[in-house]
Structure 1
Amino acid sequence: MSVSARRKDFSFDFTGRIAVVSGAFQGIGRSVADALVRSGAEVFGIDPKFSESTEVVKKFHGIRGSVESSEDVEHLKDYFMDRCDHVDFLINNAGIYFYKSIEDSTDSDFERIISINLRGYFFMIKSILPLLKRSDSPSIVNMASVSGQRPEAGHPLYSMTKGGILALTRALSADLGRLGIRVNSVSPGNIKTPMNDADIEEQARIRGMKPEEVEREYARESVLGRRGEAEEVASVVLFLLSSAASYINGADIIVDGGLLLV
């Protein structure tokens, strides 16, 4: 069975559930949003790349918005408080990436990646928390990365934020678990997404290689010998949101094809 066929085997029933997904325009975030819609959920996807203030397709609401500042998140909070009596699921997925050494990183780089990759997660959870408390099955999934598990040379800022997400997830699983809100994270490896493709292009430029050569290197880093698909990460996110994971709290699930094994 092909990878494409296998990743469509999973199914969950989220009929009547309401989910909020940040970074939902493309890549893993869009795959998560689409999978939730197919499973019956009503999904509010947030991303500054949406062309209209709100794009509605079936049960998917694409909202043009950002999590970069507390003011941005406050606007989103007002939007959801006006339209939703509760929220069942929050998936923090918004993120940016810099392939820069510490010497080349600027103050602006530091502030921006912290604002989106870490501060944005914190304030999204804080803002949506009153609505999550009204759910009978609330769950939060934060998108971390293998870069937070095993940082590598070339992207200290990105690794720093992803390590922070892992710590935030564990801390909040203790705080919010007492309220019945489960908090978990997912750490993808090399996944076929626009951000990962851009990283390959940048590394190829810096190292004087062809992009396909760098991509083959990425594939060889996985025990499975290939890059992952965004849908393969989405299936793990949906599992963590589902009743099948009702006793999982404070966990991080690595989706890397065995990259961290070698």
Structure 2
Amino acid sequence: MADRLSGKIAIVTGGGRGIGAGITQRFVEEGARVAIVQRNSPPDGMLNNRTIYVKADLANSNDIRSAVETVVKSLGGLDILVNNAGVMFEKTVDEMTEADWDHMMDINLKAPFLLTKAALPHLRNRTGASVVNIGSIEGLASNPGHPAYSASKAGIHGFTAAVAVDHGHEGIRCNAIAPGWINSDLSEIYIHSMADSSRVYRELLAMHPVGRLGEPTDIGNLAVWLASAESAFVTGQVYVIDGGRTKKLPLPIP
């Protein structure tokens, strides 16, 4: 079914790179108009008659409120909010400062709350409004050195359920996507920073029963469905999309 988001207006935070860019691309292909909300300008090639850029520091509550109002005034309303933007660093509890923790929570958990709060009055005015939060498989388990990141993503999963429960009667659905390893410029930098990057890549592939790593448009495809009328009876759910990685039990291999 083509143009599943025809006539819809969406905000995608961090929509200019990585997973966010995959979501933006698929939304536009399905007929939506998209506002990319983030601190830095997206690549010029992403901006066209269906895509605009609204600058905002997502650690600043005034910027968040202003960005939502700018989108509504510029595009004529709001049907879909995708809380995608996030940060990640690797520090154990011992290594982490209070400021580190607060920064992670400000971007990964507080910003989605403030964006949702600012968007709700506009989403109420639309038919079939949808909030899609980007969580993580690390909201369900954790890699080493990720206590703050895992906590923030588990919080997103809980927040998703609460928004669905509180606002379903207003015609607003809320779901989350929990991605696994998704190819991006940052993940490539991470792999190539390893002493034996080819071995790391092979081991990463072996972790995935589907035999490949994820692409941003894999997440975009699911986001389209969650934002469309096809998922009208779906709310409060967390969808793991990880190529089967979290279902595969590890075995020691000599």
| TM-score, L = length of structure 1 | 0.88
Aligned residue among 101, 122, 125 for 1:131: 122
Aligned residue among 198, 201, 204 for 1:218: 204
- Partners of 2:130 and 2:208 in 1: how far apart? 30
Question: Unpaired runs of 5+ in structure 2?
Answer: 249-254
Q: How many Å apart are 1:60 and its aligned residue?
A: 0.3
Contact 1:146 1:187 in 2 (8 A): yes
State the identity as a percent: 28
SS class of match (2:94): coil
1:182 aligns with 2:168: no
Letter in 2 for 1:244: E
What's the CA shift string for 1:19-41, capped at 9, x where partnerless? 11001110111111111111111
Aligned residues: 246
- Partners of 1:101 and 1:213 in 2: how far apart? 25
- Partners of 2:203 and 2:136 in 1: how far apart? 18
Residue 6 of structure 1 corresponds to which residue in structure 2? none
Residue 243 of structure 2 corresponds to which residue in structure 1? 257
What's the CA shift string for 1:169-225, capped at 9, x where partnerless? 0111100112110000001101102333344356x2xxxx32333232222211123
Aligned residue among 57, 70, 90 for 1:99: 90
Q: How many Å apart are 1:18 and its aligned residue?
A: 0.5
Residue 108 of structure 1 corresponds to which residue in structure 2? 99
SS class of match (1:178): helix
- Partners of 1:72 and 1:214 in 2: how far apart? 40
Task: Between 61-70 and 87-96, report the one with greater CA deviation.
Answer: 61-70
Aligned residue among 132, 140, 155 for 1:149: 140
SS class of match (2:131): strand
- Partners of 1:87 and 1:42 in 2: how far apart? 10
- Partners of 1:167 and 1:190 in 2: how far apart? 22
Aligned residue among 52, 55, 60 for 2:51: 60
What's the CA shift string for 1:69-97, capped at 9, x where partnerless? 21221221331343344211111100011
- Partners of 1:86 and 1:154 in 2: how far apart? 41
Aligned residue among 239, 242, 247 for 2:233: 247
1:227 aligns with 2:213: yes
Aligned residue among 19, 32, 40 for 2:31: 40
Question: Unpaired runs of 5+ in structure 1?
Answer: 1-9
- Partners of 2:147 and 2:199 in 1: how far apart? 23
- Partners of 1:51 and 1:149 in 2: how far apart? 31
Aligned residue among 2, 8, 15 for 1:24: 15
| TM-score, L = length of structure 2 | 0.90
CA gap 1:51/1:59 in 2 versus in 1, 3 angstroms: closer
Letter in 1 for 2:8: R
What do you get for the CA RMSD once the two structures are aligned? 1.8
